[in-house]
A and B are shown apart, each in its own frame.
Chain A
Amino acid sequence: MSSLKNNVLVIIVIAVIVVVLTITYKPASPPQRLIIATTTSTVDTGLLDYLKPYFDSRFNANMTWLYLGTGQALEVASRGDADVLLVHDRVREDAFVSSGNGTLRVTVMYNDFVIIGPPSDPAGARGTNATEAMAKIAQAGVGGNAVFVSRGDNSGTNALEKRLWTKAGVSASGTWYVSTGSGMAPTIRVANEKGGYTISDRGSFYKLRSTMNTTLSLVIVCENDTSLLNPYGIILLNSTKYQNIKYDLATDFLLFMVSKQGQSLIGNFTVDGKQLFFPVYGQPESIGLPSENSTVTYLNSLLKSRGLE
């Protein structure tokens, strides 16, 4: 009986020591934690890791992020579980704001989507526009000569893909259509293994290519089409509805991203010497998007009053 007592005692003592040690270890007690709900591309490319030290030191903050698809990011934010949104699906972003969950949305940067596929291009998608490329992939797919790998996760990329299928008049289903239900990088890897086509934002594709080197054989088969434009927006949440969020810090983050410093940092971020995101605050017209004049005027006055221009 004493052996049980001893054993239990030893386990408890050691466990308590470990727990106390690990509790007292504080990884540099954070000032104020900002939680950004964002898409996989801003994390996978390393953009947020790159911006974090600049934002943290300037605003005495601790910038963290939830790594989600746009669909899940909007859902989590609508439950009040994040402080600010950085996402890329204009249609759902606008719906989010107009339903009263968000108060302000502004375009901060863009890149573009590319259709990638095996170098042999069995569908003959090269040299066509995005809609034709998708139609050709579907056609080759039905004939058993191609595979399309979809995110299938309600992300911004997934939403764009669905719009392209609709435009191409294709009902995307069948054995040629594979849905991974996961993030961009895993989806590209599945496409790579299957020798299939997929749509990726250019940033995620370049980043994965730089880490996977020659093991990633997929190449870009279609690019530079206006329907492949990928603008990223920041949404401030409704602080009346979500009283627990860090609204002021979220505003700081928005102002930082649209300030001269933030915009030039975004423009200077490169992977393997390639620029992945293009700052576009204040001039969405330049990439064919509707003007955001009133929002921009308001934000500019905030920037001015905060001395952040």
Chain B
Amino acid sequence: MGGFEIIVEGFARALQILFSGDQEILGITLLSLRVSLTATLLGAAFGIPIGFLVARKDFHGKSVVTTVINTLMGLPPVVVGLVVYLFLSSSGPLGFLRLLYTPEAMIIAQMILTFPIVCGITISSILSLNPKLKETLVSLSAPSSWEARVLLNESRLGLITALIAAFGAAISEVGAIMMVGGNLLGYTRALTTAIMLYTNMGEFATAIALGIILLLIAFGVNLFLTYLQMRSRVRRTT
């Protein structure tokens, strides 16, 4: 079978899987969504406040911290996976938590990947706000909570971009969740690790089909986030 036929067959299989409601693949898909969405939200829960503080406060070594965060945006997933594995392993320092080969371990690993992405983009979008806005806030001697709300609101386009980038990194990564999740059937097998397994087994059409499902999910999530982005942009200009 030539390459093109396999891709066509993959599309056909994807449709077949989507309409037949295959339980195993449904489970794999929901796990991927759950792990990556949770990791994105947790990454944002830490990344946005920390990014805000780094952007707003003047402190010694600010540019170093920013550079480190920007560098960590390119963390190789498999290295994160290996380090998290070594920590969570039975003989590792956090082995007593018994988290290895669980969805929670996968969330932890992906959160380490999403945090610097959200944090880095938050820093740059706050730094790129019009300086007059900050001067105005200072001249009004606005309380800091008020200032945070105004600045975060003004940088909301950037914050949504941060979420889109973080979710994209999480849902598509395979190295980290393979190491710490173990790709266990019916438990920690996610879309990307299943794609790798089917590819190794030579079942290319199924692998392509899962890839298409992954793209559809990413598309759905991004459609929603982009809608929010567009809506807030319209409001801002009116």
Taking Cβ atoms with an 8 Å cutoff, the residues of A that contact B are: 1, 3-4, 7, 10-11, 14-15, 18-19, 21-23, 25, 27-28, 30, 33, 35, 40, 43-44, 46, 52, 62, 64-67, 79-81, 183, 185-186, 189, 207-208, 211-215, 242, 244
Closest to B91 in A: A79
B23 close to chain A: CB less than 8 A: yes
Instruction: Provide the main secondary structure of the chain B interface.
Output: helix
Q: Given the interface contacts A19-B34, A22-B31, A44-B200, does A64 sit within 8 Å of B184 by beta carbon?
A: yes
Whether A183 pairs with B200 at a CB distance below 8 angstroms is: yes
A residues near B163, Cβ cutoff 8 Å: 11
Whether A211 pairs with B202 at a CB distance below 8 angstroms is: yes
Closest to B41 in A: A15
Could you tell me the distance in whole angstroms from the C-beta of A291 to the nearest C-beta in chain B?
A: 34
- A-B contacts counted at CB < 8 A amount to 114
A residues near B38, Cβ cutoff 8 Å: 19
Q: Given the interface contacts A25-B30, A81-B100, does A211 sit within 8 Å of B187 by beta carbon?
A: no
Whether B101 pairs with A81 at a CB distance below 8 angstroms is: yes
Whether B185 pairs with A211 at a CB distance below 8 angstroms is: no
The proximity string for B residues 153-173 relative to A, scoring 1 for CB distances below 8 Å and 0 otherwise, is: 100100010010000000000
Could you tell me the distance in whole angstroms from the C-beta of A151 to the nearest C-beta in chain B?
A: 13
B1 close to chain A: CB less than 8 A: yes
Per the bound structure, the CA–CA distance linking A38 and B224 in Å amounts to 42
Counting chain B residues whose Cβ lies within 8 A of the other chain, the interface size class is 35 or more
Whether A7 pairs with B231 at a CB distance below 8 angstroms is: yes
Could you tell me the distance in whole angstroms from the C-beta of A24 to the nearest C-beta in chain B?
A: 10
Could you tell me the distance in whole angstroms from the C-beta of A274 to the nearest C-beta in chain B?
A: 16
B residues near A64, Cβ cutoff 8 Å: 182, 184-187
B residues near A7, Cβ cutoff 8 Å: 156, 160, 228, 231-232
Whether A18 pairs with B89 at a CB distance below 8 angstroms is: no
B37's contact among A18, A66, A80, A214, by CB below 8 Å, is which? Answer: A18
Whether A33 pairs with B184 at a CB distance below 8 angstroms is: yes
A residues near B201, Cβ cutoff 8 Å: 43-44, 46, 185, 207-208, 211
The proximity string for B residues 178-214 relative to A, scoring 1 for CB distances below 8 Å and 0 otherwise, is: 0000111111000000000101111110000000000
Q: Which residues 1-27 of B sit at the A interface, judged by CB distance below 8 A? A: 1-2, 23, 27
B118 close to chain A: CB less than 8 A: no
Whether A79 pairs with B232 at a CB distance below 8 angstroms is: no
Closest to B146 in A: A1
Whether A25 pairs with B224 at a CB distance below 8 angstroms is: no
Whether B235 pairs with A3 at a CB distance below 8 angstroms is: yes
B residues near A189, Cβ cutoff 8 Å: 202
Whether A35 pairs with B182 at a CB distance below 8 angstroms is: yes
Per the bound structure, the CA–CA distance linking A122 and B235 in Å amounts to 70
Closest to B23 in A: A27
Whether B1 pairs with A27 at a CB distance below 8 angstroms is: no
Whether B183 pairs with A23 at a CB distance below 8 angstroms is: no
Closest to B40 in A: A15
Whether A67 pairs with B89 at a CB distance below 8 angstroms is: no
Whether B228 pairs with A81 at a CB distance below 8 angstroms is: no
Which 8 A-B pairs have CB atoms at the shortest separation, nearest pair first? A80-B90, A22-B34, A211-B202, A4-B153, A27-B27, A64-B184, A79-B91, A185-B200
Could you tell me the distance in whole angstroms from the C-beta of A54 to the nearest C-beta in chain B?
A: 15
Whether B183 pairs with A66 at a CB distance below 8 angstroms is: yes
Could you tell me the distance in whole angstroms from the C-beta of A25 to the nearest C-beta in chain B?
A: 5
Per the bound structure, the CA–CA distance linking A27 and B33 in Å amounts to 14
A residues near B200, Cβ cutoff 8 Å: 40, 44, 67, 183, 185-186
